[in-house]
Each structure stands twice: as structure tokens, then as C-alpha cells.
Amino acid sequence: MFGLEQKSPKILVIGDLMIDHYIWGDCNRISPEAPVQVVEVKSESNRLGGACNVANNLLALGAQVYVCGVVGDDADGRWLVGALQDLGADIAYIFVDSNRPSTKKSRVVISNQQVLRVDRESRARVDSKLLQKIYENLNTLITQVDCVIISDYDKGLLSDTFTQEIISLARSERKFVLCDPKGCDYSKYKGATLLTPNKKEATLATGIEISDDETLLQAAKKLKEMCALEISLITLSEDGIGIFDDCVCKKIPTFAQEVYDVTGAGDTVIAALGFGLSAGLDIYKASEFANSAAAVVVAKVGSASATHIEIDRYIHTHGQDVGGGKLLDKIQMRDMIESLRHNNQKVRIVFTNGCFDILHRGHVQYLKQARALGDILIVGLNSDDSITRLKGEGRPINTQEDRAFLLSGLECVDYVVIFDEDTPRDLIAFLAPDVLVKGADYEGKEIAGSEFVKDVRLIDFVEGKSSTNIIEKIRSM
């Protein structure tokens, strides 16, 4: 939908680097020593948190990522740097400070529910000499990147002076600067392209209690004025993103269906915004992209990231347009397949086709079986003109738009593409799916397009179920 799969912008992430440490366990009893739960530890895992999670999200989207921050001279710091390097981030701008520990947040999770968090950190300001060294190292890099993301968790790196120096340098080079702010005083972020405060943070920073569209507008306007922002926006959790535009605050909605854990959702939003803007999207499209990425992430447990495949799947499942975002033309469909294969060479694309004039039980059962044969099911749908040629005047009963809409409403159908030819041979040759599925009545017959696929499967129909029978029954009445 966004056409960003082949984009690879250069993005610098500056901020507080940390580890999100998870302790996974079960609880079946209360301690005899105190009225607290006894957790039986089943496993432990480290994940990238804070600015590292922003970098992780960008890497998952295919950006070239440079990470800048400070870690301690300890095992946690070495793990963090190694993990970023393994993911493909440039770690040349990460500095070691032996006078402070690496930041680590340990969360105890029982049955996917976080019950306790323990923080190991220092919030003391990073030494000014080290900050000057960092700034000097960034001078040349900032001229080469497309965007700078400042991820502030108030752990000592982003002093007012240092933050302003970075913003001024980046803006003098006409680079995007996105800041995830902390605290109540946002003057340190003055001159940035945009900030990403949530509703509570924006309320604290502006002194305006956000309770409706009018107060949202007032807060967004005040943020823009007091921080000299190019774009003023406020993230609204399940309500999406509010963007100040002239005299109104436009809302870019989200459609998250399941929320398991909001940890790191803000990191995903700012990463996706930075990626989208750097790749050429305007702020509205970039916000739609960010909302979709965040919706993917909150459906997972723990700090997580979203890939283009996951974002596309989310959009195609929850989209609001005709076909719910699943209806593509053949060029879009081929680009989508190429993108899927670029990101996952083992993905198995299944194709089937038909008129699907009046959707019935036989169709649904057939399509479910077809979907089970691979990872993605594409349905080639005969156009109205082709059905008239094949079945005569009076057919189809339902238009191609209505038929596509109904097919797209089925969970087992991933994509729909309409074709105008009498057979799908040319479409199959163009898309080159892995598996072609047809009805069992094609046993022993020539199957159009079979020479362009690796595998042909035949599926039995439900006896007595067909659009033609239903139409004849209705007409006889």
C-alpha cells in the first residue's frame, strides 16, 4: 500500500540505550514469608529497549541505521552493542563510560501479564567532555543521513545544550529531526521537525488538559508555537495520531484489534514516522504507516518491531476501502509478491480463480482448503464482462466490486485481483504463484496456467452447492 519495501533511508538514532530484560514464569502459590506471589522462573530473555528499540524497528523496516549513545563498561553494555551489530546497525558512534552502568529494565511476566519491574540505571548527566567528543564525531555523519531521531528517556545523555546542538546541526543540513520527548519542559527540543508526545505528555508540557477535539487542537497549536516545530502532532493511543494543520487538528485513525502489550509502541511510532518521511511520504501517509506498525507491535508481548509484511497484512485485514485493502490490480499484486519473496524466500503463494457470483458454503470451504496449502491465498476474480461472455446475458448477478468486497471479507483470502480474460492463464504467467488450485472436476483436463506454477492441487467441491443452482432455484420461485 505504501510502496516502501524497497526503500532504505539512512537514519541516525541518538538517545538512551537500554536493555529490556524479561523473566518469564508461572505462579501457583503465595509466599509464606510475605503476601507476595512466588514466581517459578521458566526462562529469561534480553531485548533491545529505549533508543535501541527505535533502531531495531528501523532495521526491521530496512533502513540503514546508525546508533549513537552511551553504555557502561559491563556485560550488559557488551551484549547490547553486540546485539545491535548482529542486526546490522552501525555501532561506531556508541561510547563506553566506565563511570556508569548500562541501563537495564527487568520485567517479571506471568501468563503474559507484567507483575513487576526492576530498574538498574544511572540518571546522572553524561560528562560534558564525553558529550563534546560525541558531538564532534557526529558532525560529518549528520550531513550524510536523511533523518535524525532523538529518543529521550531522561537517562543522562540528552542534556538541554547537547540536544539543541544536535537539532541545530541537523536542521542546518535540512534533515528531518524527530524527538520522542521526556519531562515537562520541551524547550530543549525547539526547532525539531516534530515531537511525538502522547496525550498525557502533551498535557503536562502545555498545561492544557486534553479531553476533546477542541483541547487537542489547543495543545497541538501551543506545542507548535512554543517549540517552533515544522509539524505538530500528538499520539492518541487507540485513537491514532492528531496532526495540527492550519486551524484544525486532523486525526489519523488506527484500527488495532488486539492489545497485549504497549511496551515500546512509542518507539515503533517514531521509527515508522522517520522511515516514512525519509522515504518520501507526507506526514499524513507517514502517520497511517506509523499507526499500522504500532498496531502490529501492540499485538505482541514485550518490546517488538514490525516488518513490511506484517504491516501489509494488518492493512489488508483491517483496511476500510473496497476489499478492505485486499483488492489489488495485477501490477500491485506482482509488486506485493516480489516484496514478500524479497523478505521471505520460503513464502508459498497459492492462487485460485473463479466467478464467485453468489458466495455460498461451497465457496468458503473450498477457499479455506486452498489457503491451507500455503502462506498467502490470491483469488483471481472474473470481471463482469468475462462472466457475461462465459455464462451469457443476465450474469453476473453481483458486480465485480461487490464480489470482490465479499471475498475480501473472508479471513482465508489474503488478496483479490480482477482479470478480464476468459481464462486466468495470462494472469498466472504474470504473477507466477507457487501453487494453482482448481476444483476436482478438472481431473484429467487441461488447466489454464498450470505450466507457470510449481504445483497444481485439485479440491473437491461441496456436493450440490453452486451459484448456478442457487440462481436457478431463485428464478423458479
Whether the Cβ atoms of residue 174 and residue 144 lie closer than 8 Å to each other: no
Give residue for cell 507491535: 297
Is 357 one of the annotated active-site residues of the chain? no
Q: Is 201 annotated as a binding residue?
A: yes
CA 134 to chain centre: 31
Q: Which residues of 12-27 are buried (b: 16+ CB within 10 A; e: fewer)?
A: bbbbbbbbbbbbbbee
CA dist 30 and 39 (Å) reads 9
CA dist 433 and 4 (Å) reads 22
Q: Is 200 annotated as a binding residue?
A: yes
Look up residue 237 and give its DSSP letter: G
CA dist 140 and 297 (Å) reads 34
Q: Please report, as a single letter, which amino acid is at residue 296.
A: V
Whether the Cβ atoms of residue 294 and residue 276 lie closer than 8 Å to each other: no
Instruction: Give the number of other CB atoms < 10 A from CB of residue 123.
Output: 12
Q: Is 136 annotated as a binding residue?
A: no
Task: List the catalytic residue out of 146, 267, 312, 357.
Answer: 267
Phi and psi (nearest 5°) for 264? 80, 5
Q: Is 398 annotated as a binding residue?
A: no
Compute the chain's Rg from CA coordinates.
27
Active site residues: 267
Residue ranges of the binding site: 198-201
Residue ranges of the binding site for ATP: 198-201
